[in-house]
Structure 1
Amino acid sequence: MDKNLEVSDLSSIKPIRVSNNSELIYFNIAKTIDINILQGVEIDLQNKEVQVFQNGDVAFGVQVIEDITCKQIVPLFINHGKFEKKEISKVVNIFETVPMTGIKRRAIKKIQPRSLINKN
């Protein structure tokens, strides 16, 4: 049985506290996310650490890219516990940049999904 869930509304996912005083959840309109993943599973994606979180029956991966000034939170598709390349090509291309201070949220920016895939 297919246990994918269409997330069509941000209000359907409540904020998840993933690190010190930072509540992070960022999904664009309707995206398919596998709900069969347990909280706390770590998956290595192109040698970059990805943390999987679960909120109720919604599970999703978050890639945190840190630099000096901010953290970029990139939601990823999950399919049966693995990030498939074909799924990565459909990665949510909107993320929110959260200042390290956690005081203010910066504007939503766009990235190209291909930037997450290393070409061999």
Structure 2
Amino acid sequence: MSSTPKPGHRVRGSATGRPLMAALDLFGRRWTLRVLWELRHGPLGFRALQQECDGMSSSVLRQRLLELQEARLVERGSVESYCLTALGREASEELIGLHTWAERWAAELDTAPADHDK
């Protein structure tokens, strides 16, 4: 039995497995977003991906890659490399948008006084 979140199945936060809740469950797993982020520029071998992810443990990386393959966001390419699928590239594009927003958010927090400081 797989533990990979899937739409239509019970996931954290949703007994019905709404697609958004399944995606949030998958993306909320430690290192999952980082793996997608590091694969955004193209395929990487296991060791290279592990290095890009700040040396995360090989067992965790292996588990995340299996989950992402099962979710059809990552696939094994040629010569022992991993790459994003079409769905994975779409998710990566959304992450880039979130990254852009996060940069604006950080800048705003750096320049504006917090309400609780007043």
**What TM-score does the superposition give when structure 2 sets the normalisation length?**
0.26
Which of structures 1 and 2 has the bigger CA Rg? 2
Say which structure is richer in strand: 1
**What TM-score does the superposition give when structure 1 sets the normalisation length?**
0.26
